[in-house]
């Protein structure tokens, strides 16, 4: 799933660099829900980092097409993530709570032991998918959500997630680290 950094290509949210800001744009320019501001919210640990980190402090843009997917993964450093679908067809998301991360990992390893023996960190490569029905059958709790244009999806630390697009769409995502994230980081 290719990542396009909004720092280079532009954001779906208004920024100070946006030309010809409308009144509506100005309303969202400094909003904490603007993903360009979200990671550096006053309660975020990331506000103390004085660097633009792609995907952490600088959002990524995602262009989806029919049945394009994102494989099972957790966020870097087990951070939270927020995804906003600006426009287009919906996305279906599947999620596994962080408390069941090891169950998912063990299930995946039991179905593809050869892949994991060759590449033990395979799940960090974002190339591994498995039908959620198999995970459920094996006792892994899986939830499903359908994201429509104009909606946010939030994932939690160490919560595996995967999904697919129903058609052409444009989304933007960023990781974030509120104060409670530090407990999860220490467990890594």
Secondary structure (DSSP) of 145-170: EEEPTT-EEEE-TT-EEEEEESSSEE
Task: Please tell me the predicted confidence (pLDDT) of residue 31.
Answer: 87
Cα 104 to Cα 161: distance, rounded to the nearest angstrom: 10
- Look at residue 100 in the predicted model and tell me its pLDDT: 98
Q: Residue ranges of the chain with pLDDT lower than 50?
A: 1
Count, in order, helices (H) and strands (E) of the chain. Answer: 7, 9
List domains and CATH numbers for the chain.
4-187 (2.60.120.650)
Q: Provide the pLDDT for residue 180.
A: 85
35: which residues sit within 8 A by CB, 6+ positions away?
6, 11, 13, 59, 82, 84, 172, 173, 174
Give the pLDDT of residue 55.
64
pLDDT score for 186: 61
pLDDT for 8 equals: 66
Look up tokens 């029905």; give the residue: 133
CA distance 176 to 55: 9
């Amino acid at each position: 799933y290719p990542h396009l950094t909004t720092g280079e290509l532009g954001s779906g949210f208004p920024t100070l660099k946006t030309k010809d800001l409308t009144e509506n744009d100005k309303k969202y320019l400094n909003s904490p829900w603007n993903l360009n501001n979200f990671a550096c919210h006053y309660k975020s640990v990331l506000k103390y980092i004085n660097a633009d980190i792609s995907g952490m402090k600088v959002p990524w843009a995602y262009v989806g097409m029919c049945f394009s997917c994102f494989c099972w993964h957790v966020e870097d450093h087990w951070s939270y993530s927020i995804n906003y679908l600006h426009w287009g067809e919906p996305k279906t998301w599947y999620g596994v709570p962080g408390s069941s991360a090891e169950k998912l990992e063990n299930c995946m390893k039991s179905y593809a032991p050869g892949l994991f023996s060759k590449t033990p960190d395979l799940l960090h490569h974002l190339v591994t998918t498995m039908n959620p029905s198999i995970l459920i059958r094996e006792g892994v709790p899986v939830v499903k959500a359908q994201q429509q244009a104009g909606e946010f999806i939030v994932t939690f630390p160490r919560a595996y997630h995967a999904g697919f697009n129903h058609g052409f769409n444009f989304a933007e995502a960023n990781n974030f680290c509120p104060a409670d994230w530090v407990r999860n980081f220490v467990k890594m």
